[in-house]
Amino acid sequence: MKSVCSLFLFFLSLNSYAQTVKGVVAGNLLDADNSKSIAGATISLKNIGDTTAFFSLVTDEEGGFQFDQLLHGYYSMQIKMLGYSPLRIDSINIREERTDFNLADTKMNRSASDMESVIIYAEKPLIENKDGKITFNTSESALSNSSNATELLKQTPLVTTDNDGKLLMKGKEVKILIDDKPVEMDARQLQDLLESMPGSMIEKIEVLTTPPPQYANERGGVINIVTKKGKVGKSGRLNINYGTRGEAGASASFSYRKNKISFNTSAGYSYNFYKGESYSIRENVYADSSNFFRTDGNNSSINNRPNGRASLDYELNKMNNFNITATLNSSDNEGESGTEYRNINQYDVLYRVSNRKVGSGFNAVNPSGSASYTHKWKNPGEVLRVIGNIAFSSNRNTRDFYQRFLQPDGTFNGDDSAQRQQTRSNNHTLALRINYDKPLKDKKTILNFGSTVNRYKLHNELTTSFLKKPDSIMVVNDLLSNNFEFYQTVYTIRAAIRYQFFTNFFTNVGVQQEYAVTSFDILGDSNHYPNNYYSTLPFANITRKWENGYSLTASYKRSVQRPGMNNLNPSVDYSDPYNTRFGNPYLQPYYADNFDFGGGYWKKKFNINASVGYNSLQHIYSALRTLTTDGKTITSWYNLSGRKEYEASMFGGVNIGKKLKLNASGSYTYNVYSDHDQKVNRYRNAGSLNSSMNGNYQWSSIMNFTGNFTFNRFANPQGTVRNRLSMSVGVQRKFFDKNLSVSLNMVDPFSQQQNTNFIYAPNYNLETYSMSNSRNFRVAAAYTFKKKMKKRVLVKKKVAGGVQNKE
């Protein structure tokens, strides 16, 4: 801790040099029609508050320009080029806390007219909230260089993760996009991808609370991760990080952009060490007695995650462009755990003891790719987009179990067992998505049509063997082994219409029809467990905006939650000898009717959004654990009668002065269960709270602070869940003309992540606790390599009696 404080003070001392930094305005100029660089354009820059200062230059062969050694003040930039409409960019404010401005991809329109276009420059805050979309500009955060995508998503407003690591928005599952393309992977592949993606390659994260028609029926909304594309020309970035928790990582990226081609590639490696501890206390309640079953455990694991990504964009012409992306990430995990089991009778006397050690090794290789084609017509807004996805995953998992049975006094009673489970699974996903937007001649109506096909196949083979005594050989146990294939194909078609009554007042109405086909092919079982169903999913919303910054939105959608392989798999999992688990192949999807009403107010220095909602869920499915007469439990999935949800959420931000920006978000959902579930399953009405607060302090143009705090409480239908608080604080300092950035992050410096759950079932009560080593002090450094711009600058300073020119 002392070394961390010393490093923090060192950062502060270095900041004293920031006061002498002068301003820089740089960028590149492109043709709006074909994205080609515009060389030889004349760019003039003047200080609005000091008319004696005037600068001019011409763009280089790659359309690049750069003004430096600029004094503080407001600047106006004018761009002229023969054959193009003149362009002026106003309100570039160079000041102590912001001295550099990168006007990347400034585009000029071809025209013979001398009429000038004017753009008011708006700086990017850490968090933006506008037009039904919350944008987290991660490139402005001091936490991004040393974080992965999952960690940055946890810091995004309204986004949380549950105890299983699943991403939620306002308590509901979300759809993940990367660069506006959906990620078609199963839950494990998605988790591996996000945990291996370096935060330094992410430009921003967009939270779409009111998504477009192609994603309108997603129950929790949509999150779009936008990656960095690089500047015109060649550039690269090298990033390294180290954390005291037991982690290290390195990544490198390279980008090339010129005219119609943009190529980006990155590769990285991360190492993590995790450890934790847990306990559980279960009271088994019978008609004439009760007893207790207690477990105490500890665990540790080592994770290695190499990754690579390459993306190519090619713009054939103004109307057609292509993108191809390939991703490869791998996960190699080794872990061990130990658990002690104790049985205690109703008189609080210990009568049975055993301990179990588990060693595990897991390896996964996940290659994936996507291709997209976009065609635009001359009619503005008429667009056809086709996206294809393919993803593979190959997994190998070996677990060795050794259990010893003891006397109540802790001495070995001579009875033990050894077992090995080897799992081999391979899966692939094929997906095709088509979307077409067609504006009509009335300029008020836009038609939308679309269709998708998503095919998922999994082959899973589990071989269980036990140590046979006294031969000391491993013998396969067919009863505890299984071999099956799982298939799921989902077809959808969609039609929607957007109608604009007048400016800033419009509505969207549409419907999506789905057909899902699910089946199993289990070795030794002739039943394929077919589970096919149709779903009709309407949606509608209406939005009104005012020029003074106010807006109102009312929306309705019907969504479907389809059961996955883990919910449906009828094979029995015996890995926990005291809790047998299996799926329900006849599990039906559940549907939700979602009604939301929200309003917002947006101004440059202050914004707030609030919404209330009501959700009616029919035939929800949930895991239920029941107690058997021998003191063990069985867990499976069942459709229940339903649930009502009442929710409210709020998000807002405020700028305090010119340096400090604060944002806060919160959502609360109260669940109401049916009388049947409350009486039979002892379900309880309860609420979930998700909240976060983050801030950014721009100490100077080369140093900034970022802090993020989250507080979550998840509802448990059979009990309660205690609160969970997490904290991340970071400081970032830039060196060498801002090419090198060094950051120090502190994660949960005061307490480790802990979870405590209570379950009250008809014939047992259960308390569980877990703790993980989340406390971490992390140092990261990133260096940007870029081509040095060739300057052709003519400085003109106005003086009395004329103009003095200086090269």
- Residue closest to 238 by CA, chosen among 267, 208, 213, 209: 267
Mean pLDDT over 471-499 rounds to 93
Q: What is the mean pLDDT of residues 596-603?
A: 91
Q: Are the beta carbons of 451 and 401 closer than 8 angstroms? A: no
Minimal CA–CA distance to 312: which of 359, 247, 258? 258
Contact 759/24 with Cβ under 8 angstroms? no
Q: From CA 64, how far away is CA 635, in angstroms rounded?
A: 63
Residues facing 596 on adjacent strands: 555, 613
**Is the pLDDT assigned to residue 20 strictly greater than 60?**
no
Whether the pLDDT of residue 125 is over 80: the answer is: no
181-182 sheet: strands from edge to edge? 127-130, 133-136, 202-208, 222-227, 175-178, 181-182
Indicate the pairing of strand 753-761 with strand 719-721.
antiparallel
Distances (CA, A) of 201 to 227, 252, 391, 737: 6, 9, 21, 20
Where does residue 9 rank: exposed (0-12), middle (13-18), buried (19+ CB within 10 A)? exposed
Helix H or strand E encompassing 649: strand 642-656
Of the candidates 714, 802, 797, 793, the residue with the CA atom closest to the CA atom of residue 758: 714
pLDDT in tens, 37-67: 888 999 999 988 887 778 899 998 888 888 8
pLDDT per residue over 442-453, tens digit each? Answer: 999 999 999 999
Asked whether 701 and 70 are in contact (CB, 8 A), the reply is no
Q: How many CA atoms lie within 13 A of 174 on its CB side?
A: 27
CATH code for the structural domain at 2-121: 2.60.40.1120
Torsion, Cα 227 229 235 238, to 10 degrees, reads 0
Cα gap 651→156, rounded to integer Å = 11
Q: What average pLDDT does this structure show over 6-25?
A: 59
Instruction: Extract the tokens encoding 564.
Output: 């996955």
Residues 6 or more apart whose CB falls under 8 angstroms from that of 20 comprise none
| Distance set, CA 14 to CA 11, 97, 425, 732 (Å) | 5, 15, 53, 11
* Segment among 8-22, 304-318, 430-444, 635-649 with least mean pLDDT: 8-22
Give, for 541, the enclosing helix (H) or strand (E).
strand 533-545
Q: Is the pLDDT of residue 801 over 50?
A: no
**Burial class of residue 324 in the structure, from the number of CB atoms within 10 Å of its CB (0-12 exposed, 13-18 middle, 19+ buried):** middle
* Sequence spans of domains, the chain: 2-121, 233-353+384-786
Give the pTM.
0.85
* Cβ count within 10 A of residue 624: 16
Per-residue pLDDT tens digits for 410-465: 899 989 999 999 999 999 999 999 999 999 999 999 999 999 999 999 999 999 99
Q: What is the mean pLDDT of the chain?
A: 87
Average pLDDT, integer, range 527-543: 92
pLDDT the model gives residue 1: 54
CB 590 within 8 A of CB 615: no
Considering the segment(s) 233-353+384-786 as one domain, its CATH architecture is: Beta Barrel (2.40)
Q: Is a pLDDT exceeding 50 seen at residue 343?
A: yes
Report CA-CA distances (Å) from 262 to 699, 710, 790. 35, 37, 22
Q: How far apart are CA 704 and CA 8, in angstroms?
A: 12
Distance CA(554)–CA(600), nearest Å, equals: 12
DSSP structural state of residue 137: -
Residue 243 is predicted with a pLDDT of 94
Helix (H) or strand (E) holding 661: strand 660-673
Does residue 5 carry a pLDDT above 70? no
799 has a pLDDT exceeding 60: no
Give the pLDDT score at 19: 47
**pLDDT higher than 90, residue 130:** no
Cis omega before residue 470 (within 30°)?
yes
Question: Rounded to 5 degrees, what are φ and ψ at 149?
Answer: -60, -40
What is the per-residue pLDDT for 737? 81
Exposure of 38 in the CB half-sphere (CA atoms within 13 A): 26
**Distances from the Cα of 443 to the Cαs of 379, 382, 505, 680, in angstroms?**
10, 12, 14, 57
